Structure 1
């Protein structure tokens, strides 16, 4: 959506000067706005979770130093999201020469055409305003990316208009020059062919560009940032040494270090179609963390945060589907819905050699461990013996085809369940879904600790505990 600048902003060079506007380089702009945010105690990195004491301080130091930078880390660690938040540190509006192909500042024209117009028009040089969201340019590096895409090429249309090949105005600028006065981000930098990476060397050091024999001295004002996976994982390429040397900072990212951060990422990023209680999100978070520690999973490829987000969305979808079939109006996810994640998400993981045919077995085992660890953590100190004894006397049916209403109605009247509900924060709700989910977690813990047994019922869908 195009954002319209305020009507009271200057529209000519003379009016801009009269307003007292000061020119700052992009790196000075980012530095100043970051320092202002830090002094004011505001968060410069909205939506970034788990990097507060590790990645963020390094990133802030790099910006204050005015360094181009590369974020290095496994997939799904939030590298791209972090780079995109840089736009929030730019001024909301910045003036540019109206009609400039690369968004030059009115005080500092750098192309032949803009220099000519500035000389001809003087203070009447027309000025327009660019929003900070338009000053972030992102390119996913692919093996077929050409120098023309990043730097530029001869524009045959301009040549056909009668201009000579030696005329600098025949150049069609690529993405990097068009990011002038802004931030240029290159994702998966090692995927760029080495000869294409060479084309960035002058941009980063001398700040000029070369196009098919032209040497056009353009003092580009741009912050160049990039992301990359560790080279020992991708094996698709590398960042050439001279280019690495030109980045002022290389910052390693990581997966969330704390369980609470893992849960916060899931809650923030997942688009849930049904209510998923916190205890199920904790199970998913623990499941993801166990996968990152498993010898059966290729840790070089990583277990992306997208895995846990997709797992939460799958659990919510399973709950919504179950509710639609059973006629429930307010679907709430229950532990039974966790089973849906395994066949759906198996393809998002890379297993080590020798695990062929055991993938589902590994996932089921780790999901049971995550469920047991979560239940022990949340229900620590709760005596579940009365519940186990009651279910032993009167077997309880639960499972995919048992509605929350029916499950809650069939629960034994024991004080233990009240305590479980209080621990899981579902006391006082009139909706049976949260209570059914809490009860299922307690029953699952009893099963996993071998205090109850469960067997498939005759219909093949419902489980009897006893």
Structure 2
């Protein structure tokens, strides 16, 4: 998900000094109180609290809402590609759109609650004239991908040699260059893949979570940070390869399990939302891709500890759309519409996104092709249930061969279709009944023909012999 757009300027009527801020009736709230109040307002108003999150309404989101209402720091636990980072980023929308900070301060300090020595000194000197600036909620979020080379300085801070060179002494707290966590004061800080963070670095977060302060190189510097800390982790890493140290795990108030979409329709919805499709991909092909992904998640040959990311479905749909666009460019079709023949482009290019169990070397593409064909058959069986495809099979078997392929335009496919009533029925079942263009009709009937082939009611021949054939496929008797 892209970050929210930052408005050019805050509203002109907002107070610009702490005196004016008090006169306006503004009250200080901690970040967790702010999130709780805004979440409750959205719940009471029936609004969408986590826009763009698909498939978690009855499972993950209730747990997440309870954790936020309780004011807990939390860990999202799930395999790759389950939308953990997207979910974390939507929580930013529960912050106030604009919040006041001390103008010119290094951290986002609330004018009522200065925490650094410099801001406290300015607040004491200027009183009600202390200048106030306004920060948009999109600037109150930071995230860090945990890597083994992440340092305490990255997260918490370190001595700034430039400030020391300017004449300050090493004992001066103002020589500290703050890290990501203090700079997210009054905001939300996310650590992705927390178990990958070295254990000695995880220790640096203990005080942040419990005492709400930080220590830098032994400085006696208490910074009462106001931060909502959210981490993500993979279950395998959480317990085996890497781990969250026990004292840190104990300081998180909630652990919430995420999951892949629970049914095919949700998987299709997710693909529709996330994929950047360069050509039209009919719903029945998106369903094939969704079922293919779900078949992979149940395959014993795939390492399920690693998971099969939702990004696989997205990338597969984008690959299918690109195959259709390529054909349109090569053949001069007016509109690029994906067909079942385009699904063949998926296994060769996307097998690298999967982790296979040992012993499957050399069989990867064969396995993917088998599971893809099963997904095609399942989709056709569901979408064409009750449709008698016998007349279509008979017409094709008796000599009305249908030719398709990655270089065969839809108009040529349609031209070879037999004149049987079931062709129109298939088109209507698969959403192509109202279209005058050849692309949707060709896509629909190809699915029926592939189903007849997979159920051994038709033969299928592939011609890879010459440059002009380019994978031409013929359905016949």
Shorter-chain-normalised TM-score: which range?
A: over 0.9
- Equivalent positions of 1:178-327 (< 5 A) are 178-231=183-236, 235-327=240-332
Q: Is the 8 A contact 2:284 2:379 kept in 1?
A: yes
Instruction: Please give the secondary structure, in 2, of the residue aligned with 1:129.
Output: strand
Total equivalences in the alignment: 466
CA distance in 2, matches of 1:97, 1:464: 72
CA distance in 1, matches of 2:357, 2:273: 31
Q: CA deviation at 1:456?
A: 2.3
Q: Is the 8 A contact 1:232 1:300 kept in 2?
A: no
Q: Deviations over 1:97-132 (max 9, x none)?
A: 001111100011111000000011111100000000
Q: CA deviation at 1:232?
A: 5.1
Match in the other structure for 1:329: 334
Q: Is the 8 A contact 1:103 1:178 kept in 2?
A: yes
Match in the other structure for 1:21: 26
Match in the other structure for 1:53: 58
Say whether residues 1:63 and 2:68 are aligned partners.
yes
- Equivalent positions of 1:115-194 (< 5 A) are 115-194=120-199
CA distance in 2, matches of 1:337, 1:454: 16
Q: Is the 8 A contact 1:72 1:228 kept in 2?
A: yes
CA distance in 2, matches of 1:112, 1:401: 70
Match in the other structure for 2:105: 100
Match in the other structure for 1:462: 472
CA distance in 1, matches of 2:41, 2:238: 39
Q: Deviations over 1:241-266 (max 9, x none)?
A: 00000000011111011111100010
Instruction: Please give the secondary structure, in 1, of the residue aligned with 2:124.
Output: helix
Consecutive unaligned residues of structure 2, counting only runs of 5 or more, are none
Q: Deviations over 1:134-188 (max 9, x none)?
A: 0011111110000001001111111112111111111111111111000000001
CA RMSD, 1 decimal: 1.1
CA distance in 2, matches of 1:364, 1:233: 33
Q: Is the 8 A contact 1:72 1:252 kept in 2?
A: yes
CA distance in 1, matches of 2:345, 2:474: 20
Match in the other structure for 1:416: 422
Instruction: Please give the secondary structure, in 1, of the residue aligned with 2:150.
Output: coil
CA distance in 2, matches of 1:392, 1:153: 77
Q: Deviations over 1:166-213 (max 9, x none)?
A: 111111111111110000000010111000000100111011111111
CA distance in 2, matches of 1:425, 1:313: 20
Q: Identify the match of residue 442 of structure 2 among 428, 433, 436.
A: 436
CA distance in 2, matches of 1:207, 1:142: 24
Instruction: Please give the secondary structure, in 1, of the residue aligned with 2:57.
Output: coil
Alignment CA distance shift 1:169-1:232 (3 Å): closer
Q: Identify the match of residue 407 of structure 2 among 401, 410, 415.
A: 401
Match in the other structure for 1:357: 362
Q: CA deviation at 1:235?
A: 4.8
Q: TM-score scaled to structure 1, two decimals?
A: 0.98
CA distance in 1, matches of 2:473, 2:197: 54
CA distance in 2, matches of 1:279, 1:262: 13
CA distance in 1, matches of 2:357, 2:220: 50
Q: CA deviation at 1:399?
A: 1.8
Instruction: Please give the secondary structure, in 2, of the residue aligned with 1:261.
Output: helix
Q: CA deviation at 1:302?
A: 0.2
CA distance in 2, matches of 1:233, 1:28: 29
Q: Is the 8 A contact 1:46 1:85 kept in 2?
A: yes
CA distance in 2, matches of 1:445, 1:48: 34
Q: Identify the match of residue 397 of structure 2 among 392, 415, 419.
A: 392
CA distance in 2, matches of 1:379, 1:152: 62
CA distance in 2, matches of 1:454, 1:282: 23
Q: Identify the match of residue 37 of structure 2 among 27, 32, 36.
A: 32
CA distance in 2, matches of 1:329, 1:48: 35
CA distance in 2, matches of 1:211, 1:118: 24
CA distance in 2, matches of 1:15, 1:138: 33
CA distance in 2, matches of 1:402, 1:141: 48
Q: TM-score scaled to structure 2, two decimals?
A: 0.96
CA distance in 1, matches of 2:337, 2:62: 39
